[in-house]
Structure 1
Amino acid sequence: MTPLPARRTVLKAGAAAAAVLLAGCTSDPGRPAPSATTAAPPTASPEDTTFTMGIAATPVTLDPALALDTESYRVTRQMLETLIGVDPATGVPAPRLAVEWNEVNDGRSYRFRLREGVTFHDGTPFDAEAVHTNFERWYHLPEDSQPVEGGLAFRSVFGALASDEGESLYESCEVVGPLEVQLNLTRRFTGLVASLAMPAFAIASPAALKAGKADRLTEERNGNKVSRYGLAPVGTGPFAFANWDQDRVALSAYDGYWGAAGDVRTVVFKTLPHPSARLRALAAGDIDGYDLVTPDTYADLVRAGMQVLQRDPFSVAYLGMNQAADGLKDIRMRQAIAHAVDRKTLIDSFYLQGTTEAKQFIPRSLGVNNETIPYYEYNPDRARELLAAAGYDGGELTFYYPLDVTRAYLPTPEKVYAELSRQLTAVGINIKPMPVPWDEGYLEAVQGTDDHALHLAGISGSYRDPDNFVGPLFGSKTPEFGYDSAQIRSKIARAKTLPEGEDRVDAYLSINEQLARAVPAVPLAFPISALAMGARVESYPASPMLDEVYNLIQLGPA
């Protein structure tokens, strides 16, 4: 594993004594934070106020309600804001568009007081009616405008949309006053407030939603269906949409923003799929920073004198198995695959130092780690025994993996696939490689259809609650896994409703154990992720939950 500096530490290669800390902490949303320990010397306002970020993939849509991917959210976070923010020091809910909230009706309702004096980029007011419009839109979203089956954030959090079978946690969003709303639930949901920090729940201008026919996917961008609104969204954030030209998205500072403006006046996102291309662009000064540093490029960054900023792990990589595929319905086949996987080799070879083996799907930091669950340690001989017991005859298993992308949970997907394929082949499993470019429908291929056997994927957390991981993956039956367990769905739905405490912890421990016994997928790693920044970036709001908004960036001289 490639070594990384300590948490939040940024290394300047040429002189270790000149190490700079890029802060991710602020007590006042909208106000740039000073560095965490050793502050950079005060500088005059930077002459160049453009911040250019290299990203690993082109956004799929700029409508966060319909987005599924990190890069779409990375862009939309700058333009659209959620009711709830994330405290950068603790990860707990913090005020954003809502300044105060209270639980009422025995936890089946929450009342929110909204921030005064906020306007959307189109000049219309942010108020209770706008919040109501957004919640009702999410709940009543037409089927033909929904992305991959089961993938919508609203469905994964609230359980169902109006058109779905089964009861939704969402009942209504009631306008109590001009700047007050009450969110009514069908039953208690302990993680509700925290979940509203997800970028998918950002509040859009109702006027812009209507004008852009947000629920009609009549346009296309880079092979993806989008609405006119999804090409040019309107929110309340510190930056407003400027233009989107294929692999380049530009934003401009919104002069009417309710919070602090910060140093950055223009944001440019430039798609550079290959890690080496991002490294070269940073070294040449073509970009100011990029995310998803890989082990292959880390040493080069240090030698070039670039800054590297580490995030705490808050994602999980997994090897998915679709039980609708031939043979994988037999649990012995899935157990054999799990025993064939050498996690240590994967982590040592392809992940940054600090990455740990995953024995379950919920990160250890959420406090529901189950040390007694079944663990399928690397044991090739046992894998062969289980294959024989299952009657495996050497039939071909398709193995999907993404190309031309870097994810926090998969820094080098092609290399991870190659090693996993080698390990599986070594125990006698016949693998058929199925590479799919990320921008050409990889998520649709593995999450929206059941025409696959194995696949590489992962999930990045957006809020601090165990449901943020097991809910989207296993809270409903999806084509991704073909895992149909009414019991696990019931357990996940119940755990959501339990108040904080021992009973809730026990509920998630039980979920972890049942998932480990059922083996719907093989959790691989809880990865460390890291960003690289150029020398003029003096402070960057790094967040394990990727709640990174660029008005908090502090720039120095070019």
Structure 2
Amino acid sequence: MPELPLKLVSRRALLTGTLATTALALTACTGNPGPAASASPTASASAPRIPRTLRLAAAAPPVKLDPAIVADNESFRITRQVYETLVDIDPDTGGAVAGLAESWTESPDGLRYTFTLREGVLFHDGTELTAEAVVANFKRWENLSPQLRASSSQGFANVFHFDSDIPKLPTAKELEEEFKSAADASEEELATQQLRTKQLEELTKKFDTKLFEGKSAAGSASYFESVKATGKYLVALNLRRRLPGLIEALTLPGMAIAAPSALTGGPGQNPAESLSTHPVGTGPYTFVSHEDNVVRLEIFKDYWNQPRLSNNTAHPEVALISAVPSPYNREGALLADEIDGFDMVSVDIMRTLVRNAKVVVQRDPFSVLYLGMNQRNKWLAKPEFRMAIAHAVNRSSLAEKLFLQGSKHASTLLPSALSIPAPEDTPNHDASKAKTLLAELGYKGEQIEFAYPLQVSRNYLPLPERTFAQIAEDLAAVGIRIKPRPIAWTDGYVQTVQSKDFAGLHLLGFSGGYRSADDFLSGILAAKENEFGYTSTLLDSQIMLARSIPSGEERTAAYADILKTLNADLPALPLVFPISALAFNGNVTFYPPSPMLNECYADVQMANSPSISS
């Protein structure tokens, strides 16, 4: 592209907050610009070249830039550019392909994996990727404090279920006593009793065999045994039980490999504390700064996959990611050419974007929005009350009114892409049935707290306030009174609704990291005792056993049975499988959308930003 003097950045760009930062950032990336550029042809010809710059607005700032100890996609948005994983995701199929490991083998019993690393891969600090570097990362994850491990939702502890214990199944007598009080049980209660009795019989048979082998450094149901370097570029990973989804799970952003130099020097609880603010990986972009609410990334000149860059000569050389919580402010910034694109397009601004000829890129649905129902609340503890809520909420209307076209209402917590059939008796919208259930319970309109987030858009919840309002209206129509509790996302919304101190209704969701039912169920139910006031050793046992079954009919049947348990217990009401989308100006000619949000800016194709280059 032609070289342009910095003076040609538009006046409006220099007057806006976001672009003032952009202009300063561009000055920094050009090195020493020399004397101020003049309008003369000679000065223009000698001015430093302005790099192709992608200015993207996100819905929230990153929490931390260490993917091993965070759970939010805004943090992963940044870390996916800076770090890489042993295994990558095929953008076309969503399956596993070579990443930092160019190949791997699995032992016949499924308990040993050997990874062959690529040679010549450099971290951003100039050191080489070796087997010892990979082992150092695994050792770091293994030795994280339980509190830090729990703060991650797509990392080591989740992949290997590191802190899990083998559930203790109830005896048939204990299960019988659970239902003794229901002498005048309803048909639904009797059906639930029969289901659980049958499940217990099947699970007891499978618990007769030895479940895990070898020693565990953590829980008795941890799949991780050990990792070691068997050569300069060879890593051996040993398991305590077969884990068929392991290779796909290694694509999760929390399994990113960081430079060993950054894994030490911090406090005892987290020696790699510096990664929270200054990530160091092997990815195509290096982290430069996070200032004035803008993250700046620059292309890594020694990136190992040079063909990826040379085959796409229009990739961004600089990326500036700013946090703009309001979807309307993001829309305004795009229309004013202050940014090149933004994420979390909401249905109410879609028409404006189309009228202004903006490019909208949609992702296939691979997330779920749900309504949590905490059973520590005296009314939510009653199965009939939770069922009344399930009949009260019009999920189809919710999907049609407040989500992008193509979004579907959810019958279960698992997206249809996973091909797990829903139970036949999933509750549908039936206000009269909801009223009947409430009347039979003797509910007199006691208030129930209902939490929802503010100042944020999530791919599973683009319009939190309006979603809350519609659900509250549905509940009011059948006589359920709620007490609104709005909480700003950045004020600890997730921590609040997943704490033992909250007991009510809440909105939350989950975005799948790889194509696995276990990823969804384990992620959503990880904090179920606090978030939903719900425990079930039967469910825990079902999930633990299902994850070790290879793909096929038996595995599908196992997960279908799990959905029956969740349908009967109803700790959370699935609401919508949303389609999420990004919007761009015409200078972005290609963006690689990913249902798993594995979107690398090195694959973006663009001209420079209009207000920067003209």
Q: TM-score, normalised by structure 1?
A: 0.87
Q: State the partner residue of 1:506.
A: 557
Unaligned runs of 5+ in 1: 1-45, 218-225
Alignment partner, residue 450 of structure 2: 399
SS at structure 2 position matched to 1:298: helix
Deviation at 1:472, TM superposition (A): 1.3
Rounded Cα–Cα distance in structure 2 between residues aligned with 1:424 and 1:157: 37
Instruction: State the match for 1:130 in structure 2.
Output: 133
Is 1:75 equivalent to 2:78 in the alignment? yes
Distance 2:507 2:527 in 1: 20
- Matching residue within 484, 509, 516 for 1:458: 509
Matched, 1:336 2:382: no
- C-alpha displacement of 1:452: 3.0
Partners in 1 of 2:538 and 2:457 — Cα distance?
Answer: 35
Q: Where do 4+ consecutive residues of structure 1 move more than 4 Å? A: 162-165, 212-215
- Does residue 441 of structure 2 align to residue 441 of structure 1? no
CA offsets, 1:509-548, max 9 Å, x none? 1111111111111001111111111111111111111110
Q: Distance in 2 between matches of 1:115 and 1:246?
A: 37
Shift in Å, 1:373: 3.2
Shift of 1:151: 4.3
Q: 1:239 aligns with which of 248, 267, 285?
A: 285
Which of 551, 555, 558 aligns to 2:606? It is: 555
Q: Distance in 1 between matches of 2:561 and 2:292?
A: 46
Cross-structure match for 1:56: 59
Structure 1 counterpart of 2:358: 306
- Measured in 1, the distance between the counterparts of 2:61 and 2:76 equals 11
1:478 CA displacement: 3.6
2: CA distance, partners of 1:111 / 1:169: 16
What letter corresponds to residue 517 of structure 1 in structure 2?
A: A
Q: CA deviation at 1:144?
A: 4.3
Alignment of 1:489 onto 2:540? yes
* Aligned-residue CA RMSD (Å): 1.9
C-alpha distance 269-192 of structure 1, shift in aligned 2 (>3 A)? same
Quick one: distance in 2 between partners of 1:154 and 1:427? 44
Instruction: State the distance in 1 between where 2:245 and 2:87 align.
Output: 12
Change (3 A) 1:448 1:294: same
Structure 2 CA distance for aligned equivalents of residues 254 and 211 of structure 1: 25
TM-score (norm 2): 0.79
Residue 476 (structure 1) shift: 6.3
Give the superposition deviation at 1:374.
Answer: 2.1
Please give the alpha-carbon distance, in whole angstroms, between the structure 1 residues aligned to 2:513 and 2:547.
Answer: 16
1:377 is aligned to 2:428:
yes
Match of 1:20 in 2: none
- Cα deviation for residue 448 of structure 1 reads 3.5
Deviation per residue, 1:200-234 (Å, 9 max, x gap):
111111211213559539xxxxxxxx933201111
CA separation of 1:193/1:358 partners in 2, compared to 1, >3 Å: closer, same or farther? same
Shift of 1:327: 2.1
Q: Which has the larger radius of gyration?
A: 2
What is the CA–CA distance in structure 1 between the aligned matches of 2:529 and 2:120, rounded to whole Å?
42
Contact kept? 1:313, 1:544, Cα under 8 Å:
yes
Aligned to 1:184: 238
Match of 2:118 among 81, 95, 115: 115
Question: Which of residues 474, 477, 488 is equivalent to 1:426?
Answer: 477
How far apart, in 2, do the equivalents of 1:400 and 1:214 lie? 36
Letter matched to residue 244 of structure 2: T
After superposition, where does 1:140-289 map in structure 2 within 5 Å?
140-146=143-149, 148=151, 151=153, 153-161=155-163, 165-213=219-267, 215-216=269-270, 227-259=273-305, 260-261=308-309, 262=312, 263-289=315-341
| Secondary structure of 2:531 counterpart | coil
Q: Distance in 1 between matches of 2:517 and 2:220?
A: 22
Q: Deviations over 1:291-345 (max 9, x none)?
A: 1111111111111111011111111111011112222221111111111100122
1:487 Cα deviation (Å)? 0.9
Q: Would you say the 8 A contact 1:399–1:452 is kept in 2?
A: no
- Ranges in structure 2 where 5+ consecutive residues have no aligned partner: 1-48, 164-215
Change (3 A) 1:363 1:230: same
Following TM superposition, by how much is the alpha carbon of 1:97 offset from its aligned partner in structure 2, in angstroms? 0.7
8 A contact 1:64–1:76 mirrored in 2: yes
- 1:109-156 CA-partner distances (Å, limit 9, x unpaired): 2211111111111112111111111122222211343454x8463333
Q: Distance in 1 between matches of 2:379 and 2:239?
A: 41
1:283-298 maps to which residues of 2 (within 5 A)? 283-298=335-350
Report the Cα distance in structure 2 between the residues aligned to 1:230 and 1:268, rounded to whole angstroms.
18
CA contact (8 A) 1:321 1:328 kept: yes
Q: Structure 1 residues 467, 65: CA separation in 2 closer, same or farther (over 3 Å shift)?
A: same
Distance in 2 (alpha carbons) for counterparts of 1:152 and 1:267: 24
Give 2:198's aligned residue. none
Q: 1:186 is matched by which residue type in structure 2?
A: R
In 2, Cα distance between equivalents of 1:176 and 1:440: 46
User: Higher relative contact order at CA 8 Å, sep ≥6: structure 1 or structure 2?
Assistant: 1
Greater mean deviation of Cα atoms: 254-263 or 408-417: 254-263
Residue 246 of structure 1, CA deviation: 4.7
Deviation sequence 1:157-209 (CA, Å, 0-9, x none): 32224775442111111212111112111101111100111101111112112
SS at match of 1:273: coil
Any conservation in 2 of the 1:63–1:230 contact (CA below 8 Å)?
A: yes
Counterparts of residues 468-479 of structure 1 (less than 5 Å): 468-474=519-525, 477-479=528-530
Shift in Å at residue 265 of structure 1? 1.3
Q: Which residue of 1 aligns with 2:594?
A: 543
Matched, 1:65 2:62: no
Q: Distance in 1 between matches of 2:331 and 2:244?
A: 42
More helix by share: 2
Could you say which residue in structure 2 is the equivalent of 1:84? 87
Alignment-derived partner of residue 12 in structure 1: none
Pairing partner for 1:319 from 368, 371, 374: 371
For 1:163 and 1:435, how far apart are their aligned partners in 2? Answer: 41
Q: 1:503 Cα shift?
A: 0.5
Do 1:346 and 1:416's aligned partners in 2 also have CA atoms closer than 8 Å?
A: yes
Q: 1:530 aligns with which of 581, 597, 614?
A: 581
The answer (yes or no) to whether the contact 1:325–1:451 under 8 Å persists in 2 is no
Aligned to 1:18: none
Determine if contact 1:539/1:553 at 8 Å carries over to the other structure: yes
Separation (CA, whole Å) in 1 of partners of 2:266 and 2:282: 17
Structure 1 position 94 matched with structure 2 position 112: no
